[in-house]
Structure 1
Amino acid sequence: MLKQAGSFNINTRIRENAEDLSAALQSHMLKVFAPDARKELRLFSAGETADLLGISTSFLRKLHFDEKIDDVQATSGGRRLYSASDMLKIRETLEKTAKVKGTYQRGRKPGDKVQVLSFLNFKGGSGKTTSAVHTAHRLALKGYRVLCVDIDPQASLTTLFGYAPEVDFLDSGTIYDAIRYDDPLPFSQIVQKTFFTGIDLAPGGLLLQEFEHETPQALRANIQPPFFARLATALQEVEADYDVILFDCPPQLGYLTMAALCASTGVFITIVPNMLDVASMSQFLQMSADLLDVVSDAGANMEFDFMRFLINRYEPNDGPQQQVVAFLRQLFEEEVMIAPMLKSTAISDAGLTQQTIYEVERAAFHRNTYDRAVDSLNLVNDEVEQLLQSAWGR
C-alpha cells in the first residue's frame, strides 16, 4: 500500500501500519496452516525416539518384539513413527524396571523444588525467545513437565505456540490477569494447553504493559503482594504440576522482569558475541544489580541455584566473535555455558513458519545444516538439563 507524501498524523499512520501488518501476518499463517487448525507436533522416527529416551534403536525394537510397549503408527514401508505421547508412555514402562529410579523419568521427586528459569537481557535481538522455546521443547521431549510463561508484551513466545495474541488474548487471558492489582484471577484460569505434549502456556500480550503502568500507583497505595512478589505468589497455585517453569522476559529491565527474577531459581542471560552487545550487557548487569538491591532490601528472595551466560548466534569461523567469547570465558569462567547456540539458517528458516528446529522435519532442510543446528541446540539444552539435575542434588 503506497503512502502519500506530505504531513500526516503519526498515530493514524502507526495504526494503519499495524492493521496492514496484522492482515498480512494473518494471510501468511492461513497459507501455512489450515484456517481453523491449531499447530500439531510432528511424529518422530525410531532413531530420534531412541535418542530422546536414552536407549538404542535395537532395544526399542526389542521392546516392540517382546510386546512390552504398544504398537505405534507406521509408514507404508513399515517405519515406526512415535508421537510425544507415545514417548511418555514408553518412559513410564521403562522406569518401572529401571535399576536406578529417575533414569527415564528425570523430573522432580518428592522434596525437589520446582525449577524456575528466566531468559533475559536488556538488548532486543539477543535470542531470549529462541533460547526459551527451544529449551522448553527439548525438556518436554525428554519427559519434563514444562510451563512457559510469556511476560513480554510483544508475546513472541505465545505466537510460537500457535496463538495470535492480538486476536486470542486481546482483552483477557494473559498472564496479566493473574498478576494485576485489581481482582486478579487464579493462575490456573489463564494456563493454556499447547499442541506440544508436556508443555502448558501462560500467554503474553499487550495488556502486560498495563502492569508496568499500574505498578507505581500500586506502590504508593501499598497494595500487597508488591510487584516483585506477584509472579511468585501466583505461581504457587500451579507449581506442583510442573518440573520446570520458564519465563521469556521483555527486552527491558522493568517491573515484569524484576518480578520474574524474584520468582526464579536460575537465570540465563543471552548474549550475542560482539563488543556492542557486550557493552550493552555491562550496563544491563549494573542496572540489574542496583535495582535488585532495592527489591532485596524490600524483602525479595534473591537466592538462586545458578546463573549462566548463554552465547547466542555464534559463528565459529568468525574471528572477532571467537575473541569476544574467549574474553567472556576468561572473565566469567564457568558462568559462561560450555555450549554456544550456533547461528543457523535452519533455525531462521523454521522461524518463517513460526516453528522451532525440533518441530520441523529433517527432510525440509539440507541434512548437514539441519544436523548442525540440532546438535548445537541439543548440547545447549542438555547442559541446561544438567544444571536442573544438579540443583536437585543429582
Structure 2
Amino acid sequence: MRPAGGGEVVGVITESEIRRAPKVLLHDHLDGGLRPESIVELADATGYGGLPTTDVDKLRTWFRGGAHTGSLVRYLETFSHTVGVMQTADALARVARECAEDLAADGVVYAEVRFAPELHVGQGLSLDDVVEAVLDGFRAGSAGTGLHIRALLTAMRHQARSLEIAELAVRWREAGVVGFDIAGAEAGNPPTRHLDAFQYMQRANGHFTIHAGEAFGLPSIWEALQWCNADRLGHGVRIVDDITVDPDGNATLGDLASFVRDVRVPLEMCPSSNVHTGAAPSLDRHPIGLLRDLRFRVTVNTDNRLMSGVTLSSEFAALVETFGYGWPDISWLTINAMKSAFLPFDQRLMLINDVIKPGFDALTPPGAPGA
C-alpha cells in the first residue's frame, strides 16, 4: 500500500468516515444517477413501458450488469430507460431533487451535474422547459443541506444541436447553469465537429468541458484542447498514452502530456466507470495513480452512480484501498476539484477556506501525514 502524501500510513480510512468529508463532484450525469425505485414509479406514472423489469432489486442489478461490459457503446445503451422516464417536467424535477438529496447525504458540498436537454423533449417540452424543471429540482433537493449544486448542459456529439445547447447554457447561466459539455460515443464524432459551439462559448466568456480521452485516444484530447480550447477534460484517461515509465519508475512525458500538466488542465476522472467502459483495464492499473503521483490536476468523480453502483465516497474508499491514499490525498484531490469548478473565483475560495479545509482538518487525526 503506497503511503499517502509520501508519509507513513496511519490507520485505514473507512467509507463512512469519507462520507463525512466535504467533497466536490465535477462529473456526474443526471440520467446516470436515478434511484431504481424512482425509475419504476416514473415509468408507471408516465406510461413508459420499456423497462426490462419492474422489480426494483432486479432492475438495479440489470443496470449494473449492462454497464459493466468493458464497452462505452454498450454502457451508453442503458440510458435509453432512464431518459425514457425523464420526459415530463414533474419527472425531471423529481429526478433532480433526488439527485441533490443523494449527493448531500453523501457529504458532497459542491456539485456540477450534467444533462442533455435535447434528450428530454420527446413529449413536447421545450429546451428551456427542461432546464427550468431540473434547476427547480436542484433547488428543492439542496435546500438546507449545505450542498451547492449547479448544472452543465450537454450536447450529444453525434447530433447537430451543440450551438443551440451552448446558447441555452449562456441564457440560463444566471440561474444555475455554469457551463457546457459534449458527450456520447467519441469514435467518429471528434470535438471539432462542434467548433462553432465552443467558439460561441468563448465569445460569451463561458466555461466548457469536453468528454475526451475516454474511449478514444490522444487525438481526442489534442483536438479538445488545441482546437476547441476546453477548460477541462471529461475523463482524459488516455493522456497516459503520452507518458513512458521506465523499469526504474522514472516517467517521461510527451509534448501533449507535458502541456496538460504545465497548464493545469483539470482531468475529470471517474475510476469505476472508466473500468466498466474499458477506458482503464482495472482499478489498480487506472492511470489516476500515476497521474496523481506526477501531480497532474486530477479530480475524482462518479460519472453514473446508478450504472456503476457508486457514490463519491465509495470511489474515494476504493482509491484508499487500491493506492493507500490517506486524508492528505483525499483533501488534495478535493481541492483540485474545487479549484477547477466553473463557479466564480470568490465562491470557490470561500468553499475551500471556509468549508473544505476546516472539514478535512476536523477529520485528520493527530499524527497523520499532513496533519
User: Taking structure 1 as the reference length, what is the TM-score of the superposition?
Assistant: 0.38
Bigger RCO of structures 1 and 2 (CA < 8 A, at least 6 apart): 2
User: Taking structure 2 as the reference length, what is the TM-score of the superposition?
Assistant: 0.40
Larger Rg: 1
